[in-house]
Structure formats: structure tokens, C-alpha cells
């Protein structure tokens, strides 16, 4: 159900993401440009995930969370389980 993301797994994922960019950047003579573009694309992806989370929490009537990827899947599922538990407790009190 819940998986804890450890720092080693996170570091490994970042290395797998940025190392090819660095290598290609060195080959074409622009390593900082490719690293910047990679970091920028990662930032855009995270903002997109934040938008999806905000849209689900504020605008959607669905109880089911959107499909997440990576650590965002855990965030969506964690919030879903918190909402489910709170709904269950509220119904027990009524």
C-alpha cells in the first residue's frame, strides 16, 4: 500500500535521468545547456503534476485519484487513503 521513498532510490533515479544528458552534452560541447534543459523539463513535469493534484482536490467530483507516475503516484494514493479514512470516520460518527 504505502512505500517509503528512500534517498538512495531518489539519487539513483536522478542519476539515471541526468547522466545521459550530461554525456550527450559533453559530446556536443554544451553540457550545461543540456543539464539546464533537463532540469527545466523536470520542473515543468512537477508543476504539471501539482496542477493535476490541485484540480483533483478542488474541481473534480471523483473520489478516485488521477494516475500518478513516480513519487506522485504515492502522493495521490496517500491523499486518497486519508480522504477515505476521514469519510469512514465521519460516517461512523453520524
If pLDDT is split at 50, 70 and 90, which confidence band does 3 have? low
Sign of CA dihedral 21, 68, 58, 78: negative
**Contact yes or no for 65/56 (Cβ under 8 A):** yes
Q: What is the pTM of this model?
A: 0.79
Does the pLDDT at position 34 exceed 80? yes
How far apart (Å, rounded) are the C-alpha atoms in residues 69 and 18? 18
To 10 degrees, what angle do helices 31-58 and 71-93 make?
20
Amino acid at each position: 500500500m504505502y512505500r517509503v521513498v528512500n534517498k538512495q532510490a531518489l539519487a539513483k533515479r536522478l542519476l539515471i535521468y541526468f547522466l545521459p544528458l550530461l554525456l550527450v552534452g559533453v559530446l556536443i560541447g554544451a553540457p550545461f545547456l543540456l543539464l539546464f534543459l533537463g532540469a527545466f523539463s523536470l520542473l515543468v513535469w512537477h508543476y504539471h503534476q501539482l496542477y493535476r493534484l490541485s484540480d483533483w482536490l478542488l474541481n473534480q467530483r471523483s473520489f478516485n485519484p488521477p494516475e500518478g507516475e513516480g513519487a506522485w503516484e504515492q502522493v495521490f494514493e496517500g491523499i486518497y487513503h486519508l480522504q477515505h479514512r476521514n469519510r469512514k470516520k465521519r460516517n461512523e460518527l453520524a
